[in-house]
Structures are given as C-alpha cells and as structure tokens.
Amino acid sequence: MKYRHQLGQLINSKQFLQHVNTLRPESKDVALQIQDLISNARFWERIFYYLKVIELVVLVLRMVDGDDKNDMGYLYEAMDRAKEHLRERNPKAYRKWWAIIDKRWEMTLHHDLHVAGYFFNPKFQYKDNVHNDGEVMRGTMNVITRLARTMNKRLYAMAGVERYRMKLGIYGAYDMRSAVQRLTPGYFT
C-alpha cells in the first residue's frame, strides 16, 4: 500500500512500456496482466482488506520466528489479542479467519508451555481483566505435572500456583504489583 502510487507510475512509464514491447509474446502477456492488475482499484481494495485482517497475526508470527526466548510468556496473550483485534475489525468474516489461525496455532504453536508462559508472566496476571480460563489452567497444570516428578512436589507447586493466582503473600504486595509493570518476566525467575 505504501508504494501503490509509485508502482502505478512505474507500470505506466515510457521505459516500462518500451521494455514490455521487447518481450516474447508469453512474457508480454504476463507483463500486461500485471499492469492491468496494478491498475485495478478492486485489487487494491482487496489488498487493503487482507492487510487489515492479518496485521496483528503477522506480528505474532514474527515473535514465533524470532530468536528472543523472552517472547514465550507473551506469545499466548499476543495470539489472543490478535484474534480479538480481528473480530473487532471484521465482525462479519472473523470466524473464517479464526478457523485458519486456529488450525495453524493447534498444529504448530499451541503448546502447554506457551500457556504456562502466559500464566506465569506477572505482567498479565496482575491485570484486572486477567484471562485464566480452563485452557490456561489445564496447560499450566500439565507443565507442572511434567516438571514435578513426585506427588509432594506437584502439590507444593500447585499450592504456590494458587497463592500466585490469588495474589496472596508476597504475590499480593504493592511492591510486586508495581514491579511487574517495569520489569521483564525473566527478572522474577
């Protein structure tokens, strides 16, 4: 979208048209089809629509592909936010896009570790509208079950999770609530 005007100028320029005339017939046909496409207002409307739809999803996928492992605690929340953004911008068609995203999410990205990363990220847990549904708690408990080898360790960890979730003891201190807004999740480990 950023270079739409310049692209239009290019395909209608004297140099471009001279170049098209030097091409073999099949290549010339392709060049003319491209010229028609770029000149088509409907094409640009569709491009604008698709960019609007996928903007936040692309940002989440960049997080996934990045080398910054600190993103683990943000990935689940970022995907949820991207989906909600999609629903707000496309109230009539969002379900179609959610199905595509969910399929990819379930196949490659949705792991208990991402859910636990979201749960244990204080930046999200200390929000007033924290989102800890059954999926979040199940995924977190699955990670604890895998990591804590004995029943005593699991029970101890689960009790700690409950204190954390309810913001009891050290987790409820004013200093902690203030710190989570300024520090990265790794600081608390």
pLDDT at 178: 74
Read off the pLDDT of residues 10-56 as tens digits, 9 standing for 90 and up.
Answer: 988 999 899 999 999 999 999 999 999 999 999 999 898 888 777 77
Domain ranges of the chain: 1-39, 54-110, 113-189
> Residue 167: left if φ>0, alpha if ψ -120 to 50, beta else—which one?
left
pLDDT at 68: 61
Helix axes 151-166, 134-147, angle to 10 degrees: 140
pLDDT at 144: 93
Q: What is the band of 98 on the pLDDT scale with cuts at 50, 70, 90? A: confident
Q: What is the band of 115 on the pLDDT scale with cuts at 50, 70, 90? A: confident
Token representation of residue 158 = 């689960």
Angle among Cα 34, 37, 42 to the nearest 5 degrees reads 170
Token representation of residue 67 = 């080398």
Are 9 and 59 in contact, with CB atoms under 8 Å apart?
Answer: no
pLDDT at 82: 82
Look at residues 8, 4, 97 and name the one whose alpha carbon lies nearest to residue 50.
97
